[in-house]
Amino acid sequence: MAGEFFRTWKLHRNFLACKCSRKCVKGFDELKMVTILDGKALAEKLCNSYKKKVEKAGLKIKLAVVLVGDNPASEIYVQNKKKRCMDVGIGCEIRRFKKEISEEMLISEIDALNSDKEIDALMVQMPLPKHINPRNILEAVDTRKDVEGLSTYHMGRLSLGNEDVVPCTPKGVIRLLDEYGIGLAGKDVCIIGYSDIVGKPLATLCLNREATVTVCHVKTKDLGKHTRDADIIMTATGVPKLIKKEMIKQGCIIIDIGIKKLRENVVGDADFESIKGRCSHITPVPGGIGPMTIAMLVENMVEAAERKLKQTE
Ligand code: NAD
């Protein structure tokens, strides 16, 4: 893959350019050992293919994104989604609501979008203000427009092995592993975090692929005991430097889903610098699972439009 080649080349270039023998050895060890799982490059490649599909089949898709309040991080995520949709040829409308909106009023706005014939896909940007129960809002979205697969209907189908509309972040993890030829069957997978949008569906996807899955969380007594046994660690907590070198076994694969803004930098859950010489593969933050999440949102929309087209033929 071009992205992987480029990153390996950069390590190689640093190794060759280095005048210090100690650094050179370090650089050489990293070059031998770590593969960066380049989600950004794969997302780019996938979105180019969706664009071709949309053009070729003449698919007309419009997404409505419900955004409540003025959370700056949510604003950035929503704008990124809109930009990606437009690149692919999908319409995207952001419906903004004040943070004071009541749960009942928001549900009635979602009902209106459910019956709006112009809107094919609908998603609600999380988090919502504290007075609104996110589960009630996700349940209000028509399952035929639920492009994130977060309704009870799609989550239930997923747990029974039907993966037609799968939550975007976990789906992005599996797609990235597939791209690098990393199978899950028989692997010991440790997932950290059990949220409805990441940890739970990710555990189900891994089980559906016959991995042996351990799910850890904030109340887990000895996190390192579980991570040290894992062939693959998938972490989604938002706690910087949670995963350190001494917590992983040699050759382990790290999927870092966490996102935390620290001053000007965005970091994940893994202490990247300390563990990169010990793991065999790692996702960078940024540039790993983030772009894959948006690519999977686009994929879910394109697949839904293709299914609809088939039904009408
Ligand atoms: P959440 O707050 O719903 O869940 C966090 C989970 O982490 C909980 O299950 C909690 O028990 C666990 N946890 C917290 N502290 C821990 C600790 N010290 N040790 C072990 N477990 C701990 O969050 P979420 O919505 O699942 O998101 C988790 C992280 O993933 C956040 O940083 C979020 O920004 C990021 N995220 C990234 C993407 C992406 O596209 N890359 C998508 C969704 C979420």
Flag whether pLDDT at 36 surpasses 60: yes
> Taking the C-alpha atoms of 157, 160, 162 and 165 in order, what is their torsion angle to the nearest 10 degrees?
30
Least confident of 29-33, 180-184, 202-206: 29-33
Centre of ligand 1 to C-alpha 312, Å, is: 40
pLDDT of residue 313: 78
Question: pLDDT band for position 20 (50/70/90)?
Answer: very low
The residue nearest atom 32 of ligand 1, judged by CA position, is 238
To the query of whether residue 32 is one of the catalytic residues in this protein, the response is no
pTM: 0.91
Integer-rounded Cα radius of gyration of the chain: 20
pLDDT of residue 32: 54
pLDDT of residue 22: 40
* Domains (range + CATH), the chain: 59-156 (3.40.50.10860), 167-288 (3.40.50.720)
* Cα–Cα dist 201/186, whole Å: 19
* Cα–Cα dist 125/123, whole Å: 6
188 forms bridges with which residues in the sheet? 212
The binding-site residues of ligand 1, defined as CB within 6 angstroms of any ligand atom, are 169, 192-195, 197-199, 216-218, 220, 223, 236-239, 242, 257-260, 289-290, 293
Question: pLDDT band for position 7 (50/70/90)?
Answer: low
Q: In this predicted model, which residue has the larger pLDDT, 72 or 112?
A: 112
Least confident of 15-19, 45-49, 234-238: 15-19
The closest of 81, 79, 14, 91 to 43, measured between CA atoms, is 81
Contacts of 197 by beta carbon, 8 Å cutoff, 6+ apart: 126, 148, 150, 167, 169
Q: What is the DSSP letter of 130?
A: T
To the query of whether residue 74 is one of the catalytic residues in this protein, the response is yes
Question: pLDDT band for position 276 (50/70/90)?
Answer: confident
Atom of ligand 1 nearest to the CA of 289: 41
* Dihedral of alpha carbons 45, 51, 53, 59, sign: positive
**String of b and e for 1-24 (b: at least 16 CB within 10 Å)?**
eebbeebeeebeeebeeeeeeeee
* Cα–Cα dist 9/11, whole Å: 5
Question: pLDDT band for position 5 (50/70/90)?
Answer: very low
pLDDT of residue 264: 86
* Cβ contact 143:154 at 8 Å: yes
To the query of whether residue 249 is one of the catalytic residues in this protein, the response is no
Atom of ligand 1 nearest to the CA of 268: 32
Average of pLDDT values for 137-157?
97
Centre of ligand 1 to C-alpha 282, Å, is: 18
Angle between helices 199-208 and 152-159 in degrees, nearest 10: 30
Least confident of 19-33, 109-123, 135-149, 191-205: 19-33
Q: Which of 51, 62, 74, 241 is catalytic?
A: 74
Atom of ligand 1 nearest to the CA of 269: 32
* Cα–Cα dist 267/270, whole Å: 8
Atom of ligand 1 nearest to the CA of 294: 40
Letter for the amino acid at 287? G
The residue nearest atom 26 of ligand 1, judged by CA position, is 195
The residue nearest atom 1 of ligand 1, judged by CA position, is 195
Question: pLDDT band for position 33 (50/70/90)?
Answer: confident
The residue nearest atom 41 of ligand 1, judged by CA position, is 290
Centre of ligand 1 to C-alpha 298, Å, is: 23
Question: For a substitution probing ligand 1, which of 128, 198, 234 has the most ligand atoms within 8 Å of its CB?
Answer: 198
Per-residue pLDDT tens digits for 253-267: 999 999 998 888 999
pLDDT of residue 14: 43
Question: For a substitution probing ligand 1, which of 124, 195, 225 has the most ligand atoms within 8 Å of its CB?
Answer: 195
pLDDT of residue 207: 98
Considering the chain, what is the average pLDDT of its residues?
A: 91
